[in-house]
Amino acid sequence: MTATPDLGTPRLASPDLLRSAFRRHAAGVAVITANSGAGPVGFTATSLTSASAEPPLVSFGIDTASSSWPAVSEAGHVGVHILGEHQQELAATFARSGADRFAAPTVWREGPNGVPVLDDVLAWLVCQVVARVPAGKHRMVLAEVVLGDSAGPGRPLLYHQGQFNQLRD
């Protein structure tokens, strides 16, 4: 039996309604990286989606006011890193405005096509950007997976109710 929604007090669509609804949606946590030419940039994303298996495509959203947007807007390739539950601090660092995201204790290396690749993640992908689609004050970036590694040990980090969480046993 399914629950009947209470339609007695609906709220009009608004940014607050969307935020409130999506606080209830548990999402995986990823870090997106790119090379700006002046050095690496990156940000935490909970909007990562598998868009297609054939060809292998992913998508993610980025605010055009983000400090990473200028690099992502020009990058031919980006790095996608799926974080493990042991990486809450890394996720917080890449979400923090003004943080030196690539300084210690962050461990990374330059990967293919100059893409910054983070160490110790559950999975990483290097992707070629194929489209940047306007979506309000954001852009949805569509990128084709070129190579990567999905063999990292551990369990995924989740974002729910405005905070990082772990799966429960």
The residue that leads in pLDDT, 164 or 54, is 54
> What's the pLDDT score for residue 163?
87
In the structure encoding, which two tokens stand for residue 21, read together? 């609804």
> What's the pLDDT score for residue 16?
84
pLDDT tens-place string over residues 93-145: 999 998 899 999 999 999 999 999 999 999 999 999 999 999 999 999 999 99
How many whole angstroms from its chain centre is CA 126?
Answer: 13
Overall CATH class of domain 15-160? mainly beta
**3-state SS assignment for residue 40:** strand
Beta-strand pair 57-63/138-149: antiparallel
The amino acid occupying position 157 is L
In this structure, what DSSP letter does residue 156 have?
B
pLDDT tens-place string over residues 22-44: 888 889 999 999 999 889 999 99
Report domain extents, the chain. Answer: 15-160
In this structure, what DSSP letter does residue 66 have?
S
> What's the pLDDT score for residue 38?
87
**Share in percent of the chain as helix, strand, coil (round to 5):** 15, 45, 40
Provide the pLDDT confidence category of residue 162 given band limits of 50, 70 and 90: confident
Q: How far apart are CA 129 and CA 94, in angstroms?
A: 21
